Homo-oligomer: A and B are copies of this chain.
Amino acid sequence: VTSDSPVRLVTLADAVFAFALTLLVLEIRLPADTVRPGDLGVTLARLWPSFLSYVISFIVIGILWINHHGMMQLIDRIDAWFIYLTLLLLLCVAFLPFPTAVMMEYLMDPHERAFAVAFYCGCVTLTTVAYVLGWWHAARDRRLIASHVPQETVRVLTRVYVPGPFLYLTATLLAFAHVALSLAIVVALGILYLLPKIRSQLSQSARPG
């Protein structure tokens, strides 16, 4: 019996990421009775919190997927614990459409928006905790890391991933003080988390082979 290859786990993860991305749109709902004749444009324009929430959530889940994609390329075997931690990550990812729906509905409600955004950011924080636990399990003593991956890459990624949950937790707490800033940080963190990828891409093309 050989050890498991990650192929089928990657297939399941891809499918869950893709479904979570696509289910987001089902949470956007036209208000049933509020459209007066000739008013459809106004009604759609008033849905902007839903559209904004859709775009933010798509970016967050999409970036998680890009990072997971990059991480799985460094891993060439899996064990039981990595399967459980991946399922925990997928449990969180598959849950994200719900806090997105909550955010869509309450982003314009002055009494509830802070809590709605904090709930959303809190769920993203838990998701990054599951993500970091998975990486930490894979990277410790290079347990699941492919032999061709330089130790420097593993070290850099660990240093980049571990602060993630704390930064997202900060965005969560900030939601009670300033909703827009909190959401801006979530998106900005996403872009920051893409930077290493871009940089490595740049350095790769700089080096031969």
Contact = CB atoms under 8 A, between A and B. Distances in A.
A44 B102 contact: yes
Q: How many copies are assembled?
A: 4
A98 B28 contact: yes
Interface in A91-111: 91, 94-95, 97-98, 101-102, 105-106, 111
A167 to B, nearest CB: 21
B4 A73 contact: yes
Interface string A1-33: 101100011111011111111111110101000
A14 B37 CA distance: 39
Interface stretch (A112-120, A130-138, A156-164, A178-186): A112-120
A172 to B, nearest CB: 13
A21 B16 contact: yes
Contact of A80 (B25, B73, B197): B197
Most chain B CB inside 10 Å of its own CB: which residue of A3, A39, A80, A101: A80
A97 B54 contact: no
A137 to B, nearest CB: 13
A64 to B, nearest CB: 11
Interface in A54-106: 54-55, 58, 62, 65-66, 69, 73, 79-80, 83-84, 87, 90-91, 94-95, 97-98, 101-102, 105-106
B102 A12 contact: no
A24 B94 contact: yes
A112 B38 contact: yes
Contact of A22 (B16, B35, B197, B200): B16
Given A1-B149, A38-B111, 17 more contacts: A1-B153, A1-B204, A12-B17, A12-B18, A12-B65, A15-B19, A15-B22, A20-B22, A22-B23, A23-B26, A37-B111, A40-B106, A40-B112, A40-B115, A44-B102, A69-B83, A80-B201
